[in-house]
Amino acid sequence: MFDHMKENVIGIHKGSMELLKTIGMRFADQEILDMLKENGIKVEGDRVYFTEDQIMKYVSMAPSEFKVYARNPKYDMTINTEESNFAPTYGSIRIREHDGKLRMGNMDDYLRFAELYEVLDDYKVNGGTTIQPCDVDVEQVHAIMTYCTLLKSEKCITTITGTKKVLKEGFELISRVFGGMENLKKKTRTINLISTISPLNIDTNSIDCIKLCCEYNQAMIIAPAPMAGASGPVTLAGNLALGNAESLATIAVIQMIKPGTPVIQGSAFMGTDMRNGKCSIGSPVFSLQGKYCSALSKYYKLPCRITGSLSDAKGVTAQTGYESMLNMVVAIGEKGNYIMHTSGMGESFTTTSYEKFVIDNEILSMLKFYYKDIEVNEKTLATKVVKEVMETTGTFMTHKHTVKNCRKAVWIPGIDAPTKFELDDTPDNLMKEAYHKRINQLLDRYVQPQLDSKIKTELDKYMIQLGIEKKVLEKCNEKATHYHS
């Protein structure tokens, strides 16, 4: 970290400590307030005031590294302060089609994304609200999405959080795959998103979910999302200090409840488009705050959640590319440890796009190649090969050294972009065909993982107990269809 950045990080940290000492944070839960009092923390009403020593004492109890266990051990995730793990998009309810039209997400979309994320090796986690299907009962949709994930995936699991009831039903389903609730407590299997409310509040729903995750030893991302100029100060240092204070206070409480509970310090520090009041996730304001979130997490020796290829663009345009690339450069370059929204999301978190999903995964592939850097040794310098080529054919294309190394020494695109245009073609239409070809190639590669018939029966029984119709369960068991917008 450069000296000026170290100074900035320390300055933001001090700002956070000042906020927690003088303004405090509101916790909407009497049990938590009583626990804080018993541990010598100053409490007035529902507002809690922390000293720096108190915050750092409990934050230091959080592990710098932990493991999340998948159904298939090859997808186990190690989360620490150095390695990057990539996660699906989360939270939108609408699909932006290639022609610019908007529509609500449905079960067909959820099934497709479950299969797409399962087949891509860059992801060791699946599930959550990759797209919310709006053609099923809103009171049942959380259980339906979790059920689909358990059928379609053997990776680590992102849950759907919100209320205690929603999360508990998710844990009930997941536990049936791993031998019951007591067995679920033995290993961390899930990633759970916990949000604060800026400025300096956390509500009853989030606290209930925190308690449940602590009880079952499941990992949490603590994700404040202050908007600079709206729900946080317009100056980025102030917005960062505010969000950082919220996350540290919440992590301290988690460690007070159960020391050693796995947590990831989150980042969704947004900008505000001052022209219209909307949150902005594509501007450098967003990316710059992500950079400092990663630096702050490393300062506290905590794993960092950062966001991936996000954009404010409406549809697939040049804006989609340059904004998404900047955000992913920051996410990987600053060693974000759990990178959410890796692919597909745009328009201030409100839409998902199949075409953007393909573009963003291409960006990910490019940046992984770039940040891997080059290997310099006798073999890679290839001086003998140069001599042989100069003495024989004069071309490296047909040399055995090229044949042996061509698949790993250079980057190979995943999108089969056309190289020749007919007179009536347009670049946009040809790229649309290439995007859809890529999506359908991935869907064709998907093979549903085996699930023990007894476990499947238990899952079905619990879903029916929740009042979910058999025809919905049958839909979840279907193979995803090809995509054509």
293-325: pLDDT as tens digits: 999 999 999 999 999 999 999 989 999 999 999
pLDDT at residue 426 in the model: 84
- How far apart are the C-alpha atoms of 483 and 234, rounded to whole Å? 42
The fraction of the chain above a pLDDT of 90, given in percent, is 91
Secondary structure element (H or E) that encloses residue 156, with its range: strand 156-158
Strand order in the sheet with 102-104: 102-104, 94-96, 351-352, 345-346
pLDDT at residue 423 in the model: 66
- How far apart are the C-alpha atoms of 254 and 58, rounded to whole Å? 9
pLDDT at residue 419 in the model: 73
On the CB side of 474, how many CA atoms lie within 13 Å of its CA? 3
Distance of CA 349 to the CA centre of its chain: 12
Q: What is the mean pLDDT of residues 220-232?
A: 95
Give the domain ranges of the chain. 3-59, 66-372, 378-409
325-360 exposure pattern, b = at least 16 Cβ within 10 A, e = fewer: bbbbbbbbebbbbbbbbbbbbbbbbbbbbbbbbbbb
Band (435; pLDDT cuts 50, 70, 90): very high
Rounded to the nearest integer, the mean pLDDT of the chain is: 95
Contacting residues for 198 by C-beta, under 8 A, at least 6 apart: 224, 225, 226, 227, 231, 232, 242, 243, 246
Can you tell me whether residue 56 is helix, strand or coil?
Answer: helix
Q: Which amino acid is at 274?
A: M
Q: How many helices (H) and strands (E) does the chain have?
A: 18, 21
Query: 27: buried, middle or exposed (CB in 10 Å: 19+, 13-18, 0-12)?
Result: buried
Q: With CA atoms as reference, report the closest residue to 52 among 111, 2, 97, 10.
A: 10
- How far apart are the C-alpha atoms of 171 and 121, rounded to whole Å? 25
- The structure's pTM equals 0.95
Using only C-alpha atoms, the chain has a radius of gyration, in whole angstroms, of 24
On the CB side of 371, how many CA atoms lie within 13 Å of its CA? 16
| DSSP code at position 123 | B
CB of 242 closer than 8 Å to CB of 293: no
CB of 102 closer than 8 Å to CB of 95: yes
pLDDT at residue 273 in the model: 87
Secondary structure element (H or E) that encloses residue 228, with its range: strand 227-228
Q: What is the mean pLDDT of residues 427-455?
A: 94
pLDDT at residue 484 in the model: 85
Band (1; pLDDT cuts 50, 70, 90): low
pLDDT in tens, 68-111: 999 999 999 999 999 999 999 999 999 999 888 999 999 999 99
Q: What is the mean pLDDT of residues 353-373?
A: 96
Q: Which CATH class is domain 66-372?
A: alpha beta
User: Mutual orientation of helices 52-59 and 236-257 as an angle, nearest 10°?
Assistant: 60
Query: 372: buried, middle or exposed (CB in 10 Å: 19+, 13-18, 0-12)?
Result: exposed
pLDDT at residue 2 in the model: 65
Strands 94-96 and 351-352 come out as: parallel
